[in-house]
Structure formats: C-alpha cells, structure tokens
Amino acid sequence: MDTIIKNIPFINKLPITQTELPSTQDDQVQALIHQIKKTKVISNHESIANKLLALFNIAKEEDPTGPGIAADSLINFYDFLQLYTNIKNPTLSLSPDYNIYASWRSKEKLFSAHFLQNGELRFVLFKPNKRHPKRKIRISGTATSDTLMEITTPESLNGWVFDERR
C-alpha cells in the first residue's frame, strides 16, 4: 500500500481485499469523500461530501492531471470532522495547492481553517470585542485539530461554527 492509503483512517476497517483498494490518488480521494458522506455522526455529512465532490470535479476539469483535492489535506479535514461532529455547514474551497479551505461566517464573526497536508491547520478567527464594540478581536495561528479548542475556546465558536444542540 502506498503512503496515502496507509494514512486514510477508515481503510483498514473496510471489508475488502488489498487488490480492491483504491488504486489511484483520485480513487482514494473519492473513496474518502464517500466515507464522509456515510459517516452519520458528522452533522451535515452529506452536504459536506457533496461540496467536496463538486470541488474535486471542478479542479479535475481545470487540471485533469492535478490531484483534484490533496489527499493528505482531505484526511486532515476528515480528522477534524470526526473530532467536531457537531460542525455547522461550512463554505468550502480549495487553495492553489489543492488543500481544503473551510470558512464559517455569521453577521459579525468569521472562522476559517486551511487544512494543510502535514496534519496541521492554519486558522483565523474574527469576533466582536465586547469591551470595545467598535473593534474586533483577531486570533490566528497554526495548530492541529485536536488542540484547536484549547486555543480558541469552545465559547468562541459555539452557535455559529458548532451546533450547540448536539
């Protein structure tokens, strides 16, 4: 198995033989998008998967020899979705190097995350400054998905990035 397959968390759980494993990076990316679509514990799983597939197809149309979506970025995003299953529906796009870029906006707030191929994410958070209403708070940095809440605090993102009801 190549390194991409080894890194896809669900591959070892699939009831298929090694000869049935996705053979190309395109197949692997599409298999992971399909897995996201089937992962019912992730809120908005179908919508997110449909957006990813649309982005993949558009990128392949523009550059048929390109990766469509960088597999390691998709794996990183999938790990994020598994950690934060109560995610609201993001706006998704691709960076020029085929990495996933997710964004959530409300009237006065913005949270965006760029899912890098090395397992990290670059993020930025803009939110109102309650003590100084004419100013905004900006927090940005690089982190891993599992440390994101330690940096931003759940209260910063609840209700507009994460669904509080779940």
Specify burial of residue 137 (Cβ count, 10 A radius: 0-12, 13-18, 19+).
Answer: middle
Instruction: Please tell me the predicted confidence (pLDDT) of residue 84.
Output: 87
Domain spans of the chain, in order of start: 3-157
The tens digit of pLDDT for each residue in 8-54 reads: 444 444 444 444 545 688 999 999 999 999 999 998 999 999 999 99
Q: Is the pLDDT of residue 7 over 60?
A: no
Taking residue 28's Cβ as centre, other Cβ atoms within 10 Å add up to: 22
124-143: average pLDDT? 91
Instruction: Please tell me the predicted confidence (pLDDT) of residue 12.
Output: 45
Instruction: Please tell me the predicted confidence (pLDDT) of residue 61.
Output: 95
The tens digit of pLDDT for each residue in 71-121 reads: 999 999 999 999 988 888 999 999 999 999 999 998 889 999 999 999 999
